[in-house]
Structure 1
Amino acid sequence: MNDSDSFTPNEASLAPYPHSLHDRGNAEKKKRDFTITEKQNEEPEQQGSPQKTDRKPKLRNEFRKFFDSFKRQLPSDQNSELESQEKNNLRKSIKSRHLVMISLGTGIGTGLLVGNGQVLGTAGPAGLVLGYGIASIMLYCIIQAAGELGLCYAGLTGNYTRYSSILVDPSLGFAVSVVYTIQWLTVLPLQLVTAAMTVKYWTNVNADIFVAVVFIFVIIINLFGSRGYAEAEFIFNICKILMVAGFVILAIVINCGGAGDRRYIGTEYWHNPGPFAHGFKGVCTVFCYAAFSYGGIEVLLLSAAEQENPTESIPNACKKVVYRILLIYMLTTILIGFLVPYNSDELLGSGSSSGSHASPFVIAVSSHGVKVVPHFINAVILISVISVANSSLYSGPRLLLSLAEQGVLPKCLAYVDRNGRPLLCFLVSLAFGCIGFVATSNAEEQVFTWLLAISSLSQLFIWMSMCLSHIRFRDAMAKQGRSMDEVGYKAQTGYWGSWIAVLIAVFFLVCQFWVAIAPVSEHGKLDVKVFFQNYLAMPIVLLAYFGHKMYFKSWRFWIPAEKIDLDSHRNVYLPPTSTGADKIDDDDDVTEYETSESSENLHSSRLNKSFKKMVNFWC
């Protein structure tokens, strides 16, 4: 052996490994001996004193633990639920049941339940369905691509906001991270304003009171960290899904004349006032609203590092998205078009001062003579708004933390306390939430429109970046000769599904630009205010993108496929070795199986195999 090949122990290697079984056993033994001795010394004192004297020290210890939990996280603290991937592992607080409900219900809020009333007035019922249908195709392709990458980079800080930096271009990753963080920061006040608008269906009491109540409630939930967020979302989403299911049944009954004023409606409002409000331009106004309504579903990937079993939970959640698209969004959108005319004065954005500007779900029921149910629907809509506010207060601080750890924001924002909460980032999100107190202003709907302008277009940018990252990931795997068997979950829409999603997203951006320079509300005349209300996120993306290019003097627009780093931060999944029983299910071994079994058993085996494939594909 050469001298250069010989092992030279250094000081670190000679030091005892602190986590060895021997040292750990000695440490536990010393701890037990110390505890026993301590208890023996305390027993005489406890025998002579009443039992209630122990309550004060226990209460004092609980308060001390509570206040100590806000201190900076120790490097050796392995119990925190949110830590930098480079330092420690993440606590697995989010279970599979949480993730399924998050994938089905998170994001069902302002866009679907309230904002749809505004685009129904500009697009008409047919335009609303057409816009959501095109957006649904894009979303399914997106979530499949995101699921494949999400499992590969499950432990990456910031998760999908950093895909572009690794796989496409650092400047694009920076721009997407900035605009997406701004989106979630503005979603919180948007939901608070929406909560105040929802409560106005019942009372005209000062809206700031309800804003404060909702604000404090979501703060308390998020003080419990990811576990508190997951449990709250589980309950909220059950309420939302049950409400949607109940609305679908009731809407069908009302439309057929079985409830309310008991007259058959059918497609009456598709003939009078008509299926389209402003032709194709009206349909174009739906695209960004649909993107905003579908937004939030990608939160299941942001929480990947805090899931107990992402290998199982992420694929299952991605497959169940199709049910959310068809049953929750498309079906309810069709039914609203059957029950609410697009020229109703009650709709948001109608311009009428006499209308309640309530949710189209409430209008669809109350306008046909049903008296009590609208109050229950409005209550669940309020729960939905609180749910999205809860998600924004969970996502916003974690996105800020990711930017701070990347060096984009000041390092002080990377402060994580001992319970794993990004405390300073949490405070920044709360500061943005204070914008929600403008709910008492007369310009309440204007504030709603401005906040929605940032959120809706930002969603398209993050989705497009996900698909571009997926395309570059597949290109790099092929160019570097890597096997796709290393991937834990393969997108059902494949490589070309991401291209379809990118093309649809670009089409949406072009349509939104047309609506911005020739808005429906101004009869086609250019208005600067309306332009920025429709296209505000685009200048932010361009400023962040080219600002990053100029600061780092990097004018390369993409990373070559052969130079993409496929090893750092990525989880490699090795395919399991086949057993004798498994070989029967393989196509190559069917012939061998035929020779040893009867044709009836073979037919049954093939049916079982087909059934298993179908269940695995959809479930």
Structure 2
Amino acid sequence: MEKISAPSSDRIDVDERPASSTKIHDVTVVSEDAHGTAVADNGNIIDDGLQRGLKNRHLQMIAFGGVVGASIWYGTGSAIAYSGPVGALISFIIVGVDVFFVMQSLGEMSTLFPVQGAFIELAGRFIDPAVGFSLGWNYWYTWVTNIANDYNNISLILGFWATPVPSYGWILIFWALFQGTSLLGIVFYGEMEFWLAAWKLFTVLGGFLVAILVNTGAIGGEYIGFRYWRDPGVIANGINGFGKTFVLAAVYYAGTEMLAMTAAESKNPKRDLPSAIRQTFWRILIIFIGLVFFAGIIVPYNSPDLLTATSKTALSPWTIALVNAGWGGAGNLLNVVMITAQFSSVNSAIYVASRSLVALAHQGRAPRFFAKTTRNGIPVRAIVFSNTLGLIALLNVASSPAKVFGYLISISGAATFIAWAFIGITHLRLRRAWVLQGYSIDDLPYKALFYPYGTWFVVALNLFLVFISGYSVFIGGFAVVDFVEK
């Protein structure tokens, strides 16, 4: 077996200012430092075509901003509509534990090998190149569907207001906007994500407060308590409901693992990634469990205004609760919150999709055309191509935005389970190779908690969830469209 060693890209310090121009990895760079390392015009290192420009504070907020999107305000309503308030909580907690161990595996692998493509490249190295190929394309199209879902969400949100702009018009307008911002480089992306994610965190905490005030009667004057847990109840739709909510939870947690993808553009991944992984997971878990819990105590799961696949229009649980409390204009406030929240989630989806494609191209698993970047490390071709495919959101012209929402959730949810399962398998293989070659576990810069039990839990649970996510297609009659979708 080939000797394992950390890649040379781990060296990221720049001792001297650049002196000359060169061309490395098909990327025109401004200069080299004293060690012959390519350097961008802002002083950041260009490593294998990408710029290492992300600081610790950027990493702390990037995954949070990318994961907690605008659709969570609708999605919590879908979760309680599908499986009831307690059913939704159970699903989100189980998937949350799953993600915790996924992040432990990623923390160990990505700090040891902070390479372009992260677990995609490592799967090809430690399992088989064919697995790296399949996993890379699976992960790429997961994020392409997330891009499309974000654009679909925009049309769903703006559809609340009566405007002369049709749904496809909003999609095209925001597509052009995000296409522009995604081409401004990694440093701009990191700063934008930091501030937008901070605003998003503030609005979510505000949502918690509003739910408490509505539930206790401080808004509306009527105490609700756990009334809706008694009538209509805490569980809905049995195993079918759980299957749908598991997929929904996976889609919302998906993106937590994107921190591993930032390793190739982090200034100091060995120092910053472990801290970001620990803190980001707990933030996301508390946010999601909190949103699902509060949604379940302010509206009943059988409310006809909640978002399901049959909805022609839909409202957030917070909008429904505030309207019921006597504030008819609540939808306007929630729409503003959701639209501003959408900015970071779309940009994050474009970021991860494009970097996945660049990694595949560098490894020869996608056309080399997509590997080329600008002199400052911007993969323009991969960005434009990935974002353009996000226009499959235009399907909502022929179908309702709510139905398209359901299609895209199902596709990206199943793909997420596959990606998480192979992260676990890759981790098991990496550990085995590490020990077989005489290295000590104590030499690892980050050690996964509860190894190997947590890693085996990731593999087993996600393979199970791949099958349960499509269980509903075999219930109540067979439909070709639903079979292909799931």
Instruction: Give deviations 1:481-540, integer Å, cap 9, x for gaps.
Output: 21123211112233221111222212212322322322xxxxx32222222222xxxxxx
- The correspondence for 2:146, drawn from 171, 187, 198, is 187
| Residue of structure 2 equivalent to 1:269 | 228
Residue 73 (structure 1) aligned with residue 38 (structure 2): no
> What is the aligned partner in structure 1 of residue 479 from structure 2?
527
Residue 157 of structure 1: aligned partner: 116
Partner of 1:476: 433
Larger Rg belongs to: 1
Q: What is the identity percentage for the equivalent residue pairs of Structure 1 and Structure 2?
A: 28
- C-alpha distance in 2, partners of 1:486/1:362? 52
> Which secondary structure does the structure 1 equivalent of 2:378 belong to?
coil
Per the alignment, residue 93 of structure 1 pairs with 53
Distance 1:435 1:216 in 2: 15
Q: Is the 8 A contact 1:214 1:386 kept in 2?
A: no
Q: What SS is found at the alignment partner of 2:39? A: coil
> Is the CA contact (8 Å cut-off) linking 2:372 and 2:381 kept in structure 1?
yes
Change (3 A) 1:383 1:158: same
1:404 partner amino acid: A
Distance 1:221 1:495 in 2: 41
Q: Do structure 1's residue 426 and structure 2's residue 383 form an aligned pair?
A: yes
Note if contact 2:295-2:317 (Cα within 8 Å) is conserved in structure 1: yes
Superposition deviation, residue 84 in structure 1: 5.8
2: CA distance between counterparts of 1:278 and 1:442?
A: 25
8 Å CA contact 2:421, 2:458 repeated in 1: yes
Q: Does the aligned pair in 1 maintain the 2:76–2:317 contact within 8 Å?
A: yes
Decide which moves more: 128-137 or 170-179: 170-179
Q: Which runs of 5+ in 2 are unaligned?
A: 1-14, 21-25, 32-37
Contact 2:310-2:402 within 8 A present in 1 as well: no
Q: 1:285 to 1:231 in 2, by over 3 A?
A: same
Deviation at 1:263, TM superposition (A): 0.7
Tell me: higher relative CO, structure 1 or 2? Use CA pairs within 8 A at least 6 residues apart.
2
Aligned to 1:166: 125
Residue matched to 1:600: none
| 1:170, distance to aligned residue in structure 2 (A) | 2.0
Within the candidate set 419, 442, 446, 1:489 is matched to 446
* Selected match of 1:112 from 56, 66, 72: 72
Which residue does 2:407 correspond to in 1? 450
**SS of residue in 1 equivalent to 2:234:** coil
Distance 1:413 1:96 in 2: 28
- Aligned-pair CA distance for 1:82: 8.5
User: Where does residue 171 of structure 2 map in the other structure?
Assistant: 211
Cα displacement string for residues 450-474 of structure 1 (whole angstroms, at most 9, x for unaligned residues): 2222211111111111111111122
Amino acid at match of 2:463: V
Conserved 8 A contact 1:189-1:435:
yes
Indicate conservation of the 8 Å contact 2:54/2:186, yes or no.
yes
Q: State whether residues 185 and 392 of structure 1, in contact with CA within 8 Å, keep that contact through their aligned partners in structure 2.
A: yes
Structure 1 Cα separation of the partners of residues 146 and 255 of structure 2: 10
**Closer, same or farther: CA 442–505 of 1 in aligned 2, 3 Å:** closer
Letter in 1 for 2:352: S
Taking the aligned partners of 1:334 and 1:247, their CA distance within structure 2 comes to 12
CA distance in structure 2 between the partners assigned to 1:269 and 1:160 by the alignment: 43
Q: 1:364 to 1:460 in 2, by over 3 A?
A: farther
Matched residues, number:
457
Structure 1 residue aligned with 2:187 = 227
Q: Letter of the aligned partner of 1:124 in structure 2?
A: G
What residue in structure 1 maps to residue 283 of structure 2? 324
**C-alpha spacing 1:364/1:474, structure 2 compared with 1 (3 Å):** farther
Matched, 1:517 2:474: yes
What is the letter of the counterpart of residue 135 of structure 2?
V
Question: TM-score normalized by structure 2?
Answer: 0.88
Q: Residue 110 of structure 1 contacts residue 293 of structure 1 at CA under 8 Å; is this kept in 2? A: no
CA drift of 1:284 comes to: 2.0
Q: Deviations over 1:251-274 (max 9, x none)?
A: 112111111x21111111111111
d(CA) in 2 for partners of 1:416, 1:184 = 20
1:203: how far off? Answer: 2.5
Task: Report the alpha carbon displacement of residue 157 of structure 1 after superposing the two structures with TM.
Answer: 1.9
Residue 92 (structure 2) pairs with residue 132 (structure 1): yes
Amino acid at match of 1:96: N
Distance apart, 1:432 and its partner CA: 0.8
Q: Describe the shift of the 1:470–1:442 C-alpha distance in structure 2 as closer, same or farther (beyond 3 A).
A: closer
Would you say the 8 A contact 1:190–1:436 is kept in 2? Answer: yes
- Structure 2 Cα separation of the partners of residues 176 and 82 of structure 1: 28
Q: CA deviation at 1:110?
A: 5.2
Structure 1 residues 241 and 373: CA distance shift in structure 2, 3 A: farther
Out of 219, 222, 242, the residue aligned to residue 283 of structure 1 is 242
Counterpart amino acid of residue 188 in structure 1: I
CA distance in 1 between partners of 2:327 and 2:364 (Å): 56
Structure 1 pair 79/376, CA: closer, same or farther in 2 (3 Å)? farther
Cα distance change, pair 439–236 in 1 and its aligned pair in 2 (3 A)? farther
Structure 1 position 449, deviation (Å): 2.4
Instruction: Letter of the 2:193 partner, please give it.
Output: E
Structure 2 counterpart of 1:184, which letter? W
Residue 327 of structure 2 aligns to a residue whose secondary structure is coil
2:23 corresponding residue in structure 1 = none
Corresponding residue for 1:463? 420
Change (3 A) 1:137 1:94: same
Tell me the secondary structure at the aligned position of residue 212 of structure 2.
Answer: helix
Give the aligned partner of residue 319 of structure 2: 362
1:242 aligned onto 2:214: no
* Structure 1 pair 325–422 and aligned structure 2 pair: CA distance change class (3 A): closer
Distance in 2, Cα, partners of 1:486 & 1:144: 16
C-alpha RMSD of the superposition? 2.4
CA distance in structure 1 between the partners assigned to 2:444 and 2:296 by the alignment: 42
* Displacement of 1:83: 5.3
Shift of 1:304: 0.9
* 2:302 match: secondary structure: coil
1:111 to 1:380, Cα distance in 2 relative to 1, 3 A: closer
* Letter paired with 1:74: T
Measured in 2, the distance between the counterparts of 1:364 and 1:226 equals: 40
For 2:27, give the aligned amino acid: Q
Q: CA deviation at 1:374?
A: 4.2
Note if 1:406 corresponds to 2:360: no
